[in-house]
Amino acid sequence: MSSPVERQPLLRVEGLTKAFGGIRAVDELNLAVAAGELRCLIGPNGAGKSTLFSLLSGIHQPDAGRIVFKGEDITELSPFRRVRKGICLKFQTTRIYRGLMVGENLTIARGKVRGTNGRLEWALGVLGLAGETARPAEICLALATEPELLLLDEPTAGMTPEETALTADFVIKLSGQGITILVVEHDMAFVRHIARGVTVLHYGRVFADGTLEEIEANHEVRRIYLGEQ
């Protein structure tokens, strides 16, 4: 039994369009993400994955279309208000405040959050944030804002296969904590490890959508993307 609220997707993107110069990086894109989903966005270079994230997080404003989050149109909202609504982008590169200690970074990150749902503490426990590497700190900063929708932009960029596997485990555990997660990823090993819903973008549109098996069995997808590897 599901109430209308539950049937409504957490995030709905309708006709989203963004052009840079003459190139439509995102072209009338439609997407719906249900609460609790863990979904990978894949696609060739220039498919519009990163642009989609920048539109979702508010870094860029779309030329057309709208973004609805928890039933509310957030297309015009500034980035910091979207964070307060529960959308957080984890940057691809690590962007902690290097002049400050990790604890001070986290204090700043928690500043706009009232109360706690314990996910940061949980993540700190899982990751064992010893401070030897800045990479876990980045995800902890994102989690400190207590997001409902977490956007991970190439979380395994520059990682060894072992690190990639660990990151995949962590993302799966994180999903188990009830956070909805969208991942932009090139590394198919990572995508297979997560093995949930996959959306393929191509020329700024959704090209295919389905489970990992469906996507891997799709000949067109293999031709435009997976076949490259």
Partner 1 sequence: MRGLLGIFSRVGGRQDLGRGAAFWVAFAIVALGLVAFPLFGSAFYLSNLANFFVYVPMGLGLCLLWGYGGILSFGQAAFFGISGYVYGIVAQNLSLTPGASLLGIAAAILATVIVAALFGYFVFYGQVSAWIIPLLTLVLSLILETFMAQTAGYQWRIGHVLLGGYNGMTGIPSIQVGPLEFGGASIALYLLTVIAMLLGYLGLRLLVNSHFGYVVVGVRDDVERTRMLGYNVARMQVTVFALAAGLAGLSGVLYVSWGNYINPSSMGLYAATLPVIWTAVGGRSSLIAVTLSTVALKWLADSLAVRGGEYAFLIMGALLLATMLFFPAGIVVSLNRLWRRARRHAP
Nearer to partner 1, 113 or 195 (CB): 113
Evaluate whether 33 touches 39 at the Cβ level (below 8 Å): yes
Task: Examine residue 99 and tell whether it contacts partner 1 (CB under 8 A).
Answer: yes
Minimum distance, C-beta of residue 77 to partner 1, in the bound complex (Å):
12
Task: Examine residue 170 and tell whether it contacts partner 1 (CB under 8 A).
Answer: no
- Binding segment toward partner 1, per CB under 8 A, in 28-36, 109-117, 163-171, 214-222: 109-117
Minimum distance, C-beta of residue 99 to partner 1, in the bound complex (Å):
6
Show contacts with partner 1 in window 47-66 (CB under 8 A). Answer: 57, 59
19 phi and psi, to 5 degrees? -115, 140
- Sequence-distant (≥ 6) Cβ neighbours of residue 110 within 8 angstroms: 116, 120, 144, 145
What is the separation of C-alpha 84 from the centre of its chain, rounded to a whole number of angstroms?
16
Evaluate whether 11 touches 33 at the Cβ level (below 8 Å): yes
Minimum distance, C-beta of residue 174 to partner 1, in the bound complex (Å):
18
Consecutive H or E run containing 119 = helix 119-127
Task: Examine residue 124 and tell whether it contacts partner 1 (CB under 8 A).
Answer: no
Nearer to partner 1, 112 or 223 (CB): 112
Q: Which of 11, 13, 42, 89 binds partner 1 (CB under 8 A)?
A: 89
Q: What is the DSSP string of 45-96?
A: TTSSHHHHHHHHHTSS--SEEEEEETTEE-TT--HHHHHHHTEEEEPSS---
Minimum distance, C-beta of residue 23 to partner 1, in the bound complex (Å):
23
Minimum distance, C-beta of residue 193 to partner 1, in the bound complex (Å):
27
Nearer to partner 1, 29 or 141 (CB): 141
Nearer to partner 1, 20 or 97 (CB): 97
- Cα(52)–Cα(30) distance, integer angstroms: 11
Q: Which of 13, 109, 174, 181 binds partner 1 (CB under 8 A)?
A: 109
Minimum distance, C-beta of residue 179 to partner 1, in the bound complex (Å):
16
Task: Examine residue 76 and tell whether it contacts partner 1 (CB under 8 A).
Answer: no
Evaluate whether 41 touches 57 at the Cβ level (below 8 Å): no
Q: How many residues bind partner 1 (CB under 8 A)?
A: 26
CB atoms within 10 A of CB 99: 7
CA angle 149, 151, 156 (to 5 degrees): 140
Which positions touch partner 1 (CB under 8 A)? 57, 59, 78-80, 83-84, 88-89, 91, 95-100, 104, 107-109, 111-113, 141, 144-145
